[in-house]
Copies of this chain bind each other. A is one copy, B any other.
Amino acid sequence: MTSYVLGVDLGGTQIRACLWKVEAGMEQQAKKPTQARQGPSRVLKRIKLAVREVLAGLAPEDLLAIGIASPGPLDPQSGIILSPANLPGWDRVPLREIMVKEFHAPVYVNNDANLACLAEHRFGHGQGASDLVYLTISTGIGGGVVCGGQLLMGAHGLAAEPGHMIVDADGPRCGCGSIGCLEALSSGTAIARQAGEWIREGQDSLLASPTYSGKELTAQIVAEAALKGDALAQRLISRAAYYLGIGVLNLIHIFDPQMVILGGGVSKIGSPLFDPVQLWVREHALTPAQRETPILPAKLGDDVGLFGAVAWALDNAKA
Contacts from A to B (Cβ < 8 Å)? 73, 129-131, 145, 147-148, 150, 152-162, 164-171, 176-178, 180, 242-243, 246, 249-251, 253-258, 284, 286-287, 289-290
Contacts and interface: CB of A to CB of B under 8 A. Distances in A.
A251 B166 CA distance: 10
A162 B257 CA distance: 14
Contacts of A251: 254
Contact of A147 (B147, B171, B178): B147
Identical subunits present? 2
Contacts of A147: 147-148, 152, 154, 159
A166 B164 contact: no
Of the listed residues A155, A176, A177, A284, the one surrounded by the most CB atoms of chain B closer than 10 A to its CB is A155
Query: DSSP majority for the A interface?
Result: loop
Contact of A129 (B155, B156, B170, B177): B155
A148 B145 CA distance: 12
B148 A131 contact: no
Nearest to A129: B155
Given A148-B152, A284-B178, A168 B168 contact: yes
30 contacts: A73-B287, A129-B155, A131-B154, A131-B159, A145-B254, A147-B147, A147-B152, A147-B159, A148-B148, A148-B150, A152-B255, A154-B255, A155-B256, A155-B258, A158-B286, A158-B290, A160-B254, A162-B253, A162-B254, A164-B250, A164-B286, A165-B250, A166-B250, A167-B169, A168-B168, A169-B243, A176-B284, A176-B286, A177-B284, A254-B254
